[in-house]
Amino acid sequence: MGRIYDATWGRFFSAAYDSLMKSTEEAGMREIRSEALAEARGRTIDIGAGTGVNADLFPDDLAELVLAEPDEHMLKRLRPKMAESGREVEVVQAPADRLPFPDDTFDTAVFTLVLCTVPDQAAALAEAARVLRPGGKLLFVEHVRAEEPGLARWQDRLIPLTAVLPPRTPPQRVWQGVERTLWPQLAAPAPVPWWQRMAVWRGATGALSVVALALAMWVSIPGVQAPPIVVVLQATGDAAQPQGSFVASFSSDGRSLVTRPLTPVALQSDRVLELWAVPPQGTPRSLGLISANGATVVARDRLPPQVLDASRTSALAVSVEPPGGSPTGAPTGPVVFAGKLQF
């Protein structure tokens, strides 16, 4: 995974970061950074310094400025940029949760748009607290839930997808296309397409090719696939029962279903979780056992016909059952998670 990252996303992201952020910075992010960093005092460490976008925003009278960055691609851009700036800084390669400094070293620690990329945020914050002196300042600018209700609702809807949809590594040709677009002067010339090397045939077959291509596209292009339907199942509120939340993702045609807990669910060793489709009226129908710790693909034969019909399914629920599931065909243990389907 590390080699794939180095060869693709890591290299691209560091090279394009300043360009990608330019419009955001001009739209107000630079002003937000500047306002936050003006509070820095004494010995200061910028954790996750990236390409050094913060460097010229710190007060000039700092006793010391350390820029910590773990990614070697970012460092390749950070170091020469700092050398050209003329500002006296120390650049160190270090992750946010393992800073190579003694306790109580700094007066100010800074995170800006970093914690969203840190695998263990609690460890990173604990490390910042460790290197800060008593009474030191932690300054941060981070992504948060929007204050505007409409935007916040969309964030709530989309966040569960990050737990359901697996990551995909784009093929090499995608990265090559991105590089040709961003840095055409550095890209190798694209190979000449075969049809450009067959000028004799182009005129004779051009019209026929267009007709054949149009016919093939008309026959073979599928319709636009509707997005999945995501249901968030929240804990029902009993503190004595398992806590957390689940995400269930239906395909738009209702023929497949994947569930996943957003955090592992603590469960007694002699108990299992069972998923239920709850109708507006009548008895819930079991959709099978689901994992308390990872993804579960619900077997297609367990999904009732027209499961996404609002007259047949209004909610999903999860109950705690004995090994093997409910012996009665209905929930016998407490219902610990539930969520409504919104069509």
pLDDT in tens, 165-203: 666 666 777 667 766 665 565 555 555 554 455 554 455
- Whole-number pLDDT of residue 227: 60
Interval 215-239: pLDDT, tens: 554 444 444 445 667 788 888 876 6
**Contact between residue 67 and residue 89 where contact means Cβ atoms under 8 Å apart:** yes
DSSP code of residue 303: S
**Contact between residue 332 and residue 319 where contact means Cβ atoms under 8 Å apart:** yes
**Contact between residue 318 and residue 244 where contact means Cβ atoms under 8 Å apart:** no
C-alpha span between 292 and 241 (Å, rounded): 13
Task: Tell me what percent of the residues of the chain surpass a pLDDT of 90.
Answer: 31
The answer to whether the predicted template modeling score (pTM) of the entire model surpasses 0.75 is no
The residue type found at 223 is: G
Q: How many contiguous H segments (helices) and E segments (strands) does the chain have?
A: 9, 13
DSSP code of residue 52: T
More confident call, 238 vs 129: 129
Interval 10-57: pLDDT, tens: 666 676 777 777 887 888 889 999 999 999 999 999 999 999 999 999
Question: Strand, coil or helix: what is 125?
Answer: helix
- What does pLDDT average to over the chain? 79
Which residue matches tokens 């737990």? 163
Least confidently predicted of 12-21, 45-54, 244-253, 260-269: 12-21
- Closest Cα to residue 164, out of 262, 66, 72? 262
DSSP H/E element including 139: strand 132-141
- Whole-number pLDDT of residue 5: 47
Task: Tell me what percent of the residues of the chain surpass a pLDDT of 70.
Answer: 74
- Whole-number pLDDT of residue 337: 87
